Amino acid sequence: METVTRFAPSPNGPLHLGHAFSAIVAHDIARARGGRFLVRIEDIDGARSRAEFAEGALADLAWLGLDWDGEAIRQSDRIASHAEALDRLKGMGLVYPCTCTRAQIAAAAVATGPDGPVYPGTCRHAAIDPAVPAAWRLDMAQAMARTGPLTWTDELAGEQQARPDLFGDVVLARKDAPGSYHLAVTVDDARDGITLVTRGADLFASTHVHRLLQALLGLPVPRWHHHALLVEADGEKLAKRRGSPALSDRRAAGQDGLALAADIRAGRFPEDLSLSGLEISTKNP
Ligand code: GLU
Ligand code: ZN
């Protein structure tokens, strides 16, 4: 089967070296296997997405010498299919509306999952007025009972037992958007024919949820490649606020993008950065 990978940045800030590494991994795997490399701009967070960051990301990729197949995909063009997937889960009785605020959840949560406080289930059996704007949550226990145990395979870490239960009743649609990250990325990766989901190890645990959603929605199951993360000398995840220049700043300063990409491929990272392995995110509770 042809290998199809993707790089899927959220345009809510400029790309930095960690994104460059991630895009190079996805691109180079596809090219090495004679497959396709897609770019999907994940711009469904209306409050935080900005067109200039989307344009900047594409310019950064071109500057690094990365070519993608076809037009860059805009996740915002896919909102109807996210809503349709949510409707199917509603029809299966596996999601319920939730009107809790973040503060209420934090105050009532008794456990912490990979995404933060685990939802305590307050609204699971509540009668919510349909006129009140609500998020939609997956009834995790019911959903897992429906699919039974699931496994998934990471190329680097091997076969994994799916543990979506670690997340509790995840949000699949927010008050202001029909698809949360988990729902949108799962539906879109299937629609785009992605056979190898390439992304940073910080999203390793999310795959437990995505695997469950695939099973519920009858979507094809890809393989995953969660790559190591670029970290600063103290082991902290790279972040712009810690002073590493954005790719766009390097580009504007006339730095050679092809040379930077060559350095990254050779494992020569600027500014004392280094790669840190999967243990970052696989150390689940
Ligand atoms: N859009 C997500 C991000 O920028 C990544 C999605 C993914 O690769 O699954 O963090
Ligand atoms: Zn609630």
Domain edges within the chain: 4-276
Q: Where do runs of H (alpha helix) occur along 116-270?
A: 140-147, 181-191, 206-217, 247-252, 257-265
Q: Structure tokens of 37? A: 């490399």
State if residue 9 touches ligand 1 by the CB under 6 angstroms criterion.
yes
Q: Best mutation site among 42, 74, 210 for ligand 1, i.e. most ligand atoms within 8 A of its Cβ?
A: 42
Check if the beta carbon of residue 53 is closer than 8 Å to that of residue 14: yes
So what CATH class is 4-276?
Answer: alpha beta
CA distance 66 to 107: 46
In this structure, the residue with its CA closest to atom 6 of ligand 1 is 8
Phi, psi of 246 (to 5 degrees): -65, 155
pTM of the model: 0.94
Residuewise pLDDT in 10s, the chain (285 residues)? 899 999 999 999 999 999 999 999 999 999 999 999 999 999 998 889 999 999 999 999 999 999 999 999 999 999 999 999 999 999 999 999 999 998 999 899 889 999 899 999 999 999 988 888 999 999 999 999 999 999 999 999 999 999 999 999 999 999 887 789 999 999 999 999 999 999 999 999 999 999 999 999 999 999 999 999 988 877 776 665 566 789 999 999 999 999 999 999 999 988 778 888 655 444 443
Q: Classify each residue of 213-243 as buried b or exposed e, where b means 16 or more C-beta atoms within 10 Å of its C-beta.
A: bbbbbebeebebbbbbbbbbeeeeebeeeee
